[in-house]
């Protein structure tokens, strides 16, 4: 939701919310791979600046906001490691080789995305709206409760029931 506001309207308040949400998570991501705190903060700034500049390239049909931002972060981290001629953690190296999917992987993902969209469309509108806020808008249950005015228990119930229906509708994908 924030990312779409940034992409479509260059909304600074939405970007601030996006930054507040992702900056601490990205810093932790960098620090877990051995990056010092000060350098991790600097890289986070660069990643979020890239997010702002490349917001027009974000396509929610291709990736979740978090996946898109973490891909930018991982690429930036690889650049830093190469610049410093430091050995890269093995998990970054293994991901780098898998970064370019082949045509069959792309087709499979597109088919799964289509099936997911159809399953989401079959949900009750109130369940679908809450699930979209939680998973596509990346809002916490409390944030959804505050935004909608619904009790926290209602939010959790709608998510649980909606996810059960999605699991049932999508069981053939497993």
> pLDDT at residue 87 above 80?
no
Looking at the fold, whether 71 and 126 belong to one and the same domain comes out as no
Query: CATH number of the domain that 26 lies in?
Result: 1.10.1740.10
Q: How far apart are CA 36 and CA 101, in angstroms?
A: 32
> pLDDT at residue 94 above 90?
no
Looking at the fold, whether 74 and 107 belong to one and the same domain comes out as no
Looking at the fold, whether 31 and 108 belong to one and the same domain comes out as no
Q: Which long-range contacts (CB under 8 A, 24 or more apart) does 132-139 make?
A: 133/1, 134/159, 135/64, 136/1, 136/60, 136/64, 136/65, 137/1, 137/2, 138/1, 138/2, 138/21, 138/64, 138/65, 138/66, 139/1
pLDDT score recorded for residue 45: 92
Helix (H) or strand (E) holding 20: helix 12-32
Mean pLDDT of the chain: 81
Domains in the chain: how many in total?
A: 2
Looking at the fold, whether 30 and 115 belong to one and the same domain comes out as no
Q: Are 87 and 25 in contact (CB under 8 A)?
A: no
Looking at the fold, whether 92 and 31 belong to one and the same domain comes out as yes
Digit-coded pLDDT (tens) for 119-163? 888 999 999 999 888 877 777 888 899 999 999 999 999 999 998
Q: In the listed set 68, 97, 126, which residue is the last one of a domain according to the structure?
A: 97
Looking at the fold, whether 84 and 125 belong to one and the same domain comes out as no
Q: In the listed set 39, 73, 97, which residue is the last one of a domain according to the structure?
A: 97
Residue 44's alpha-carbon distances to 60, 73, 172, in angstroms, are: 22, 8, 39
Looking at the fold, whether 85 and 132 belong to one and the same domain comes out as no
DSSP 132: I
Q: Which domain holds residue 82?
A: 2-97
Looking at the fold, whether 90 and 156 belong to one and the same domain comes out as no
Q: How far apart are CA 63 and CA 65, in angstroms?
A: 6
Q: Does residue 108 or residue 164 have the better pLDDT? A: 164
pLDDT score recorded for residue 104: 64
pLDDT score recorded for residue 102: 53
The percentage of residues in the chain with a pLDDT greater than 90, rounded to a whole number, is 21
Looking at the fold, whether 89 and 109 belong to one and the same domain comes out as no
> pLDDT at residue 96 above 70?
no
pTM higher than the cut 0.95:
no
Query: CATH number of the domain that 133 lies in?
Result: 1.10.10.10
DSSP 7: H
Looking at the fold, whether 86 and 123 belong to one and the same domain comes out as no
pLDDT score recorded for residue 161: 92
Among candidate residues 67, 48, 47, 44, the one with its CA nearest the CA of residue 136: 67
Q: Are 170 and 115 in contact (CB under 8 A)?
A: yes
Over residues 97-106, mean pLDDT: 54
> pLDDT at residue 99 above 50?
no
Looking at the fold, whether 58 and 120 belong to one and the same domain comes out as no
pLDDT score recorded for residue 49: 92
Looking at the fold, whether 54 and 138 belong to one and the same domain comes out as no
Q: In the listed set 97, 118, 139, which residue is the last one of a domain according to the structure?
A: 97
């Amino acid at each position: 939701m924030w990312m779409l506001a940034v992409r479509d309207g260059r909304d600074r308040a939405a970007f601030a919310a996006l930054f507040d949400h992702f900056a601490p998570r990205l810093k932790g991501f960098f620090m877990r791979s051995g990056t010092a705190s000060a350098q991790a903060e600097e890289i986070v700034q660069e990643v979020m600046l890239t997010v702002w500049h490349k917001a027009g390239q974000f396509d929610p049909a291709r990736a979740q906001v978090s996946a898109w931002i973490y891909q930018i972060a991982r690429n930036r981290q690889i650049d830093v490691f190469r610049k410093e001629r430091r050995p890269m953690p093995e998990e970054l190296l293994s991901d780098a080789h898998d970064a370019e999917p082949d045509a069959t992987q792309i087709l499979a993902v597109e088919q799964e995305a289509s099936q997911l969209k159809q399953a989401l469309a079959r949900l009750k509108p109130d369940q679908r709206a809450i699930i979209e806020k939680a998973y596509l808008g990346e809002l916490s249950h409390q944030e959804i409760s505050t935004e909608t005015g619904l009790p926290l228990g209602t939010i959790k119930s709608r998510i649980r029931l909606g996810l059960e229906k999605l699991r049932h509708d999508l069981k053939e994908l497993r």
